[in-house]
A and B are shown apart, each in its own frame.
Chain A
Amino acid sequence: MLDYIARRILYAIPILIGVNLITFALFFVVNTPDDMARMQLGIKHVTPEAIEKWKLDKGYDKPLFFNTQKENLRNKLTETIFFEKSIAMFLFEFGRSDDGRDIAEEMKSRMLPSLAIAVPVFFLGLMSYVSFALLMVFFRATYIDFWGMVLCVALMSISGLFYIISGQFLLGKLWRLVPISGYGDGLDVSKFLVLPVIIGILSSAGANIRWYRTIFLEEMNKDYVRTARAKGLAEYLVLFKHVLKNAMIPIMTGAIAVVPLLFMGSLLIESFFGVPGLGSYTIDAINSQDFAIVRSMVFLGSMLYIIGLILTDISYTLVDPRIRLI
């Protein structure tokens, strides 16, 4: 298994280089270093001299990919914005954003608020989706199953924004049970998390419950279920002990892969609830044309996704002893 993991990590390197290259190219198709300078320096009194000074200070005064002014090929390739900005990132030196803040420090401080919402949403969500899906399977082909499905389709059809706005209106404004938005320190944070967590769970409930229900229904027709029933097990034991265990592989595929991405937060929820997480960091950076942050966040996202996929593979071996990673 160690060989397998080592191989997967090595595969990740060209993938990350590719992602970095694509991000770089896409970003600079839309924004030139001059545009970035203007965005940072403001719209008043910006002179060409000020732009040149900014580019020089931030390291954007070189060509993007190929420096024709240099003599040998090595310098032609290395004395470019792409090389200089990329190489440090692979050493996990994210550098400083255009407003001068250290990106790694910023990420650290933003990760916790993102996790404070994403972790409860993930675990409570997973538990409730699986439970509801099993409940629907238990009552399959009854009115509970039918109306449960109708409810799921309805939940799926509603926009995420609607949940947020109506949640804030009902619980925050009309019933005054929780703050409409905000974030706090220590235990104080709990009152701010109630609403976003409920909304986070509810907004994905429809699709997830239906997905898990489908997985469980597929398992229900297998022989071991019939055997379990034949030996006289109660139906809830059949579902929670046998069916759930055997449905773990598809559940793991969906769930474990996103665990590392929980760090990245949720854009919409964080924005509407004023949570200082990582979710809105990238969007803010794109709006302010801060390439250093965009590049770092895309790199981090890609890396976490790759880690998630490796963790998924490893988790298969844990839930199914027949699987070996070689």
Chain B
Amino acid sequence: MSIYCLFLLTSCGLSVWNNPYSEKDVQKNVLYSVFSERPKHLDPVQSYSSSEIQFTAQIYEPPLQYHYLKRPFTLIPATATELPTIQYLDENENLISGESVDEVAYSVYQITIIPGILYQPHPAFAKDESDQWLYHQLSEQEIAKASKPADFPRTGTRELVAEDYVYQIKRLAHPRLHSPIFELMADYIIGLREYATLLKQVDSQTMHGHYLDLRKYALNGLEVVDDYTYRIKIKGKYPQFIYWLAMPFFAPIPWEVDLFYSQPGLIKKNLTLDWFPVGTGPYMLTENNPNLRMVLEKNPNFHEERYPVDGMPGDEEKGLLVDANKKLPLIDKVIFTREKENIPRWNKFLQGYYDAAGIGSDSFDQAVQLTGQGEAMVTQEMAEQGIRLETTVAVSTYYMGFNMLNPIVGDGGGSAKEREAARKLRQAISIAVDYEEFISIFANGRGLVAHGPIAPGIIGYRDGKEGMNPIVYDWIDGQAKRKTIKAAKRLLEEAGYPNGINQETGSPLVLYYDVTARSADDKSKLDWMRKQFQKLNIQLVVRSTDYNRFQDKIRKGNAQIFEWGWNADYPDAENFLFLLYGPQQKVSNSGENAANYDNAEYNQLFERMKNMDNNPERQQLIDRMVQVLRYDAPWLWGYHPKDFGLYHAWYQNVKPNRISNNTLKYFKIDGDKRQSKQREWNTPIVGPALIFFVLLVAGSIPAIVAFRRREKSTAILGCIDIKRINNDA
């Protein structure tokens, strides 16, 4: 009760009682967002997952970025003055045109950055009057007082230089950091692997945990031309390298910051670069409590950047160009609150305390309705609250893979006849498993049936009749129609399993489906999958296991049929097609080809395609590769998920996508509208609580009366009572 009174006292300043934000957070130009999974790393050399990149992408600035509004995704300069100039060299380092891929031994990317860009204010840059670093050699007392960078009284900044970008690329090879792209980049960036070996040696000779000054050690593939220009030399021709330059892995890290955070006392107090990022981006992390909330605030030193003035047709009508040419960022502060459970997250969104929300399966019917044409729109209830729905097809694919090393469903049988039978079996299953139905039942319509591995919105993707998978679909009345089950049965018969019976042995065909341990909710999905196979009279045995064992089975090639998925790193077909490239086989090379598919023609086409610039010839190669894949059917192509997001009316300039992550700077909030709606939706209702207390008091009156009567009763009566009770007991 005392707590409740305290609560009333503390909340008397607010017009609503259930506001989860303190008064200092209740500002107009703040975006209230949410995160469920705590980030593990905020060091751009290590962070990769979406839970991390939503923060790092706002703080760090790689040289390139994606145009916010244009589709397909288009790279534009971020801190660079223009897109990199690329020079191609032959074996003797002579300049060549690069048109002939085979002749290209090296590619040199030259990047020039905009002068005058400043880092966010940070103690690592602070100097005293005699130009000495203030906090590069902290005393124990200074460390004891600090729990966050803001605890240091002085801050400084400095200009971004090309050396900072080079420093970060060197950090990919740092022996104490675990960059997920090191192995990939070591295959391309000249000298990176050797550099890692050198740093390992140096590190083993220095004191454990000591600062490793990467400026002292040169990396062959990197060159600082001048303060604002640097070069990266890579092996051969790798046109997709440019996409990596738009990721935080290639953002700048100033050596001062690395040195500052390498002080052992700070590491002990969890004050590390991995937790307190320092960048030149539009926002800086001012509060870092990944268990509760993360706060980004506008970087006062952010350089000049303006909202795009052009977009796609329809963007202007949607109001996406209202703020054209305005200085970015448009929002002053972003508060990310950790919310692990769906129910409170959803309810707080409806109360107006979160500005946007995803849609869980339990709230889907409350939020979204489908029109007769299958178009999704918000329900009447949501529309009345001014909530709008934004959808986008994710650059992802969820598929069901066949282990191609398996003798029944793959090429493991040896003879050509057996391989042909397995291919027909895979094709038959591809027809039988009705992904349209799956999307409708289990994804609430939030998906697009896949006709191949490449997701929509990616260079190389084909739509319409050209993009149809002719093995599974027929083009009828202007749309793709799944072939009948009769066609699947015919293929099954040709495969040697008429009506699901092995014609040689007479035994029924039994296939094994490996999945990770499932909750009770997923039982219906597995039952549905069994029924799909049952259409062909194939018995599907589900082998459920924990995630580690499942991964183990995939690595060792012990699975037969399995589920898998892929989110694109960058918007190019190569990032999907490499998933089926022979040398990427999971079993033999620990690559990303989980199906262990290996087709000589496909491999050859892939090797040609991956090094080509985007042109019609490359598209032809991609088309041919997809054709080969469809015929071989190493995957059931599954579906591309659609992201559904709900946004309040005051949340503007939203064009969702999964490729570009530095989008916070474009968003806009109408704080007045939000405040008035929050008041309207959250007026406290005290009546029922008062009635409850009145009833409680009223209910206790007979007890009080009984108590007083008993206390006033005579001893004899009391004795009788006690006797009776004792007897009862």
Contacts and interface: CB of A to CB of B under 8 A. Distances in A.
Query: Do A and B assemble together?
Result: yes
Interface stretch (A71-79, A134-142, A203-211): A134-142
A254 interface: no
B684 A175 contact: yes
A41 to B, nearest CB: 6
Contacts of A288: 40
Contacts of A182: 20, 337
Interface in A221-241: 221, 226, 229, 232, 234-236
A214 to B, nearest CB: 11
A110 interface: yes
A267 B575 CA distance: 40
A57 B10 CA distance: 48
Interface string A30-69: 1110010010111011111110011001000000000000
Contacts of B592: 44-45
B462 interface: no
A194 to B, nearest CB: 5
A273 B689 contact: no
A126 to B, nearest CB: 16
A174 B16 CA distance: 13
Given A168-B344, A274-B338, A187 B6 contact: yes
Interface in A250-306: 271-274, 276, 280, 284, 288-289
B339 to A, nearest CB: 6
Interface string A123-149: 000000000000100111110100000
Given A182-B20, A234-B711, A102 B268 contact: yes
Interface string A167-203: 0110111111111111111011011111001000000
B211 interface: no
B4 A194 contact: yes
A177 B686 CA distance: 7
B726 A100 contact: no
Given A102-B270, A185-B22, A175 B725 contact: no
Interface in B90-112: none
B3 interface: yes
Interface stretch (B118-126, B156-164, B175-183, B303-311): B175-183
Contacts of B688: 174-175
Contacts of A99: 40-41, 274
Interface string B341-382: 101100110110000000000000000000000000000000
Contacts of B343: 165, 168, 272
Contacts of A44: 48, 180, 569, 592
Contacts of B686: 175, 177
A45 B183 contact: yes
Contact of B183 (A47, A173, A188, A217): A47
B17 A177 contact: yes
A180 B270 contact: no
A12 to B, nearest CB: 28
A250 to B, nearest CB: 18
A141 B182 CA distance: 75
Interface residues of B, number: 73
B18 interface: yes
B227 interface: no
A176 B17 contact: yes
B340 interface: yes
B20, B183, B592, B726: most-surrounded residue (chain A CB, <10 A):
B20
Interface residues of A, number: 79
A181 B548 contact: no
A84 interface: no
Contact of B703 (A50, A139, A168): A139
Contact of B338 (A120, A229, A234, A276): A276
A322 interface: no
Given A190-B3, A192-B20, A144 B683 contact: no
A178 B18 contact: yes
A127 B541 CA distance: 56
Nearest to B682: A176
Given A175-B686, A273-B344, A191 B546 contact: no
B710 interface: yes
B207 interface: no
B384 interface: no
A172 B345 CA distance: 12
Contacts of A47: 183, 590
A95 B715 CA distance: 68
Contacts of B17: 176-178, 191
B3 A217 contact: no
A235 B269 contact: no
B706 A42 contact: no
B684 A105 contact: no
B548 A35 contact: yes
A48 B40 CA distance: 21
A201 to B, nearest CB: 11
A274 B337 contact: yes
Interface string B471-510: 0000000000000000000000000000000000000000
Interface in B250-280: 267-270, 272, 274-275
Given A45-B181, A105-B269, A172-B18, A197 B3 contact: yes
B113 to A, nearest CB: 27
Interface in A93-108: 98-102, 105-106
Contacts of A236: 707, 711
B718 interface: yes
Given A110-B291, A177-B17, A180-B18, A49 B183 contact: yes
Nearest to A275: B292
Nearest to B16: A176
B180 A190 contact: no
A144 B706 CA distance: 10
B229 interface: no
B347 A180 contact: yes
Contact of A271 (B7, B18, B340, B684): B340
B183 A50 contact: yes
A175 to B, nearest CB: 4
A184 B10 CA distance: 12
A135 B688 CA distance: 26
B578 to A, nearest CB: 11
A48 B19 CA distance: 49
B628 interface: no
Contacts of A194: 3-4, 7
Contacts of A273: 344
Contacts of A32: 548
Given A42-B48, A181-B344, A190-B3, A50 B18 contact: no
Contacts of A53: 175, 178
A105 B11 contact: no
B440 interface: no
B684 A120 contact: no
A190 B180 CA distance: 43
Given A141-B728, A197-B3, A274-B338, A179 B20 contact: yes
A289 B7 CA distance: 39
A2 to B, nearest CB: 35
Nearest to A270: B340
Nearest to B338: A274
B49 interface: yes
A152 B451 CA distance: 59
Contacts of B289: 109, 276
A192 B711 CA distance: 42
Contact of A173 (B291, B347, B702): B347
B184 A45 contact: yes
Given A35-B548, A177-B686, A190-B6, A105 B20 contact: no
Given A102-B270, A183-B292, 5 more contacts: A47-B590, A53-B175, A105-B268, A184-B22, A191-B11
8 contacts: A47-B183, A53-B178, A100-B274, A176-B682, A177-B17, A197-B3, A220-B729, A271-B340
A-B pairs, 10 with minimum CB distance? A276-B291, A182-B20, A181-B344, A179-B20, A99-B40, A276-B292, A47-B183, A35-B548, A175-B685, A190-B6
